[in-house]
Chain A
Amino acid sequence: MAIQLLILGVLLLVIPVFVGGIFSDVDGMRGGLVFRWVSGQFLLWAGFQFISVPLIIRERNFSQLVWGFWLYMAALMLMAAGRGIRQIQRRVPASLVKGGGKGKQVSEMLFWAIFTGLLLFQLVQAVRLAYADGDDAYYVAISAMTQDADTMYLKIAYTGETTMLNFRHSLAPFPIWIAFLARVSGIQAVTVAQVILPVVLIAMSYGIFYLLGVRLFPEKGGQLPLFLIFTEILVLFGDYSFYTAENFMIARSRQGKAALGNIVLPFLLLLLLIFMKKLQEAERVPVWCYLLIGAVATTACLCSTLGALLICMAVGVAGLSAAVCYKRFRCLVPLAICCIPCICYALLYLLLAD
């Protein structure tokens, strides 16, 4: 089990951080290691979506997808390594973690301690508590079947009967990504989905809140951990209805729609924040920002078929608002290009799904 967990650790932490090295010198690397982790994971997710959907539609084996995704990961790691070598040659200090604990006030240390304590509490609860959600009977069963039978969406999740390809769900193959993790690590898909992924994805959500906090409170040290504590309180007391993103984050984190609401959309908000700040400062919006918005758009489609609509709405409204407010209408073109994956998957959905 220890080796299997180690493999998952490499897949979910080490490789994304390494791949995120592609963005290691962007925007002064605010957010450091966390930014690398999240952006690297988004590149991996986007690639998984691009590789998996054609293979699923053509009813290919899961093993072929596994090999294809390994090749993609290897290519990304080579690119990241190439960038790393170039940085060393340019003698750019590869500092991963910004700042340090120098000069921190007692109150700030206390806030960080409270934040860490609350985060650990949620991660422990994710392992200790089970949440009975009927949708798992579909999503987790799809992951388990894919790991076992080597076919994708060709069996009915509820009964195990062989069936025609389920187009509606196959366009958002987040459960297949879970099956990939299960296949490579050798841990049963149900354990990966119900126990390990919630820990990683909840931590990633707070990682994105941290990145937002870094940009919202650039120079006020103590306010960042305080902001994170408030996000934690809002999440912990976010069960005011069954539909809230916070409920999905804590209770149903292994489902793609939970990742959409708590990882994809907050990360998009962060990228739009960077985008608008650049417009405000009359600077050129960097290519990496658009590349990541594109990766976010593709990941949204991996998580949920509704992701395409939500991303197009968010990017469209934010882009138009920014264009009007800053009178920079040319910025709408690259934003529209970023939404092309969403439009393609939405069209596929309308054409193929029953």
Chain B
Amino acid sequence: MWSEAVDLFREYMGTGLIVILYMVSLIYLWIHEKRKYIRVLFLYVPLILLLLYFNPMFAEFIIGTVGGEIYYRIIWLLPITIVIAYTCVCIYGDMVQKQGVTRQSTQGKGAMHKAGKKLLPGLTLACMGGMIAVSGSFIYDNPFFHKAENLYHVPDSVVHICDAIHVPGREVMAVFPMELVQYVRQYSPVTCMPYGREVTVERWNYVNPLCEAMEAEIIDMAELAPLVREAGCHYVILPADKEKKGSPEEYGWILFGEMDGYVIYREPTRELTIPVLN
């Protein structure tokens, strides 16, 4: 369990440069911070929390109770951002204060020397900002960010397909390709699916034969069609460019529409009665 806690800590801290900045900040505060309540909250409390985090018995109890996946969230209790930001400003404040004192005692010295001294706090500030930037990673460079296609933050294809197959007043069952699965029910809670996001998470080891048939390199209609019928699907959504062994029409599927690179088929064996709305 202790090694799990260490691994999680290492993973959390990435390159580890931010931890170094945090440690430097703690040392600075240890030496310079005069206010006791800030020392308690920014120094002693985080140190005790870290000791708890790395305590094997504590780790075993917590990981055993809530699971190892979320143990890292205990690190959120360390006020890393606040402490580093506070220390940076304190260092800048101290420099400005010292500069004020030195300015009085060095009146009459060269103009160049004065200008250099005046720029020093600003340069230090820029350096500290730069160090943080270099130690971290710009959040919007994260590959999971992309330009939103609409006000729902789901792909346009999901919006168009769900709107097309929507039947007022009732739910419909549709099977989607893997890349759309996680968005469908965020946008349309009346679109049900035979499998959902659980199939996309490898570590959950969730196996669904219908999903496997849908995601096969070449879709075998002889295999897919009975699974779709068994799952009670009204619609099947397939990528338009996906190669198929056999024709969907041979299995009674009716071409319902084509949009955004996907083909929608209606599986007619499952009844789809439109309820009479008031």
Contacts A145-B185, A238-B81 known; A217 to B66 CB distance under 8 Å?
no
Neighbour of B73 across the interface among A191, A220, A257, A322, CB < 8 A:
A257
Most B C-beta atoms less than 10 A away, residue of A145, A159, A220: A159
In the bound assembly, the distance between CA atoms of A66 and B144 in angstroms comes to 35
Collect the chain B residues with CB atoms within 8 Å of residue A128's CB.
Answer: 147-148
Take A243-B11, A243-B12 as given contacts and tell me if A209 and B82 are in contact as well, using a CB distance cutoff of 8 Å.
yes
Residue of A212, A246, A317 with highest tally of chain B CB at under 10 A: A317
| Complex contact B72–A243 (CB within 8 A) | yes
Q: Contacting chain A: which of B129-137, B235-243, B264-272?
A: B129-137
- Which residues of chain A are within 8 angstroms of B75 by Cβ–Cβ distance? 243
> Are A240 and B151 in touch, CB under 8 angstroms?
no
In the assembled complex, the CB of B9 is this many whole angstroms from the nearest CB of chain A, namely 10
Q: Which B residues, 109 to 130, have Cβ-Cβ distances below 8 Å to chain A?
A: 125, 128-129
Closest to A325 in B: B40
Question: Is B81 within 8 A of A136, CB to CB?
Answer: no
Tell me the interface secondary structure of chain A in the complex. helix
Task: Report yes or no: B145 in contact with A190, Cβ–Cβ below 8 A.
Answer: no
Q: Is the CB of A261 within 8 A of B81?
A: no
Q: Is A11 part of the contact surface with B, judged by Cβ < 8 Å?
A: no
Nearest CB of B to A252, in Å: 10
Given contacts A239-B136, A247-B139, contact A158 B185 (CB under 8 A): yes
Residue A95 interfacial (CB < 8 Å) = no
Proximity string of chain A (231-251) to chain B, C-beta cutoff 8 Å, 1 when within and 0 when not:
101111111111111110011
Nearest-Cβ distance from residue B258 to partner chain A, whole angstroms: 25
Given the known interface contacts A129-B148, A131-B144, A131-B145, the answer about A240 and B17 at a Cβ–Cβ threshold of 8 Å is yes
A132–B146 CB distance below 8 A:
yes
* Bound complex: CA A276 to CA B75 (Å): 22
Question: A7 within 8 Å of B by Cβ?
Answer: no
Residue interface mask A311-338, B partner, CB < 8 A = 1: 0011001100110010000000000000
CA distance A138 to B132 in the complex (A): 34
A234 touches B81 (CB 8 A): yes
**Does A109 have its Cβ within 8 Å of any Cβ on chain B?**
no
Q: Which of B61-81 contact A (CB under 8 A)?
A: 62, 65-66, 70, 72-77, 79-81
Q: Which of B62, B80, B138, B141 contacts A309 (CB 8 A)?
A: B62
Q: How many residues of A contact B (CB 8 A)?
A: 84
Interface size on B, residues (CB 8 A): 83
| A307 nearest CB across to chain B (Å) | 9
Q: Is the CB of A159 within 8 A of B137?
A: no
- Asked if A280 meets B37 with Cβ closer than 8 Å, knowing A149-B189, A158-B198, A317-B48, the reply is yes
Q: Are the C-beta atoms of B148 and A237 separated by less than 8 Å?
A: no
- A127 vs B148: C-alpha distance when bound (angstroms): 8
Residue in A188, A217, A273 whose beta carbon sits within 8 Å of that of B41 in the complex: A273
Give chain A nearest CB distance to B13 CB in angstroms. Answer: 7
B182 at the interface (CB under 8 A from A): yes
Q: Are B129 and A317 in contact (CB under 8 A)?
A: no
Q: B residues within 8 A CB of A314? A: 45, 49, 77
Q: Is the CB of A160 within 8 A of B193?
A: yes
Interface residues of A (CB under 8 A from B): 125, 127-134, 136-138, 140-141, 144-145, 147-149, 156-161, 188, 190-191, 193-195, 209, 212, 216-217, 220, 223, 226-227, 229-231, 233-247, 250-251, 257, 260-261, 265-266, 269, 272-273, 276-277, 279-280, 304-306, 309-310, 313-314, 317-318, 321-322, 325, 350
**24 contacting pairs across A/B (C-beta < 8 A):** A131-B144, A131-B153, A134-B182, A134-B197, A141-B186, A156-B196, A161-B192, A209-B85, A229-B129, A230-B128, A233-B129, A233-B133, A238-B81, A239-B139, A241-B14, A246-B81, A250-B140, A261-B76, A265-B76, A272-B41, A273-B37, A276-B37, A310-B73, A313-B52
Known contacts A129-B145, A251-B142; 15 further A-B pairs (Cβ under 8 A): A157-B196, A190-B153, A223-B93, A237-B132, A237-B135, A238-B136, A240-B136, A243-B11, A243-B73, A246-B139, A250-B140, A273-B41, A318-B40, A321-B40, A321-B44
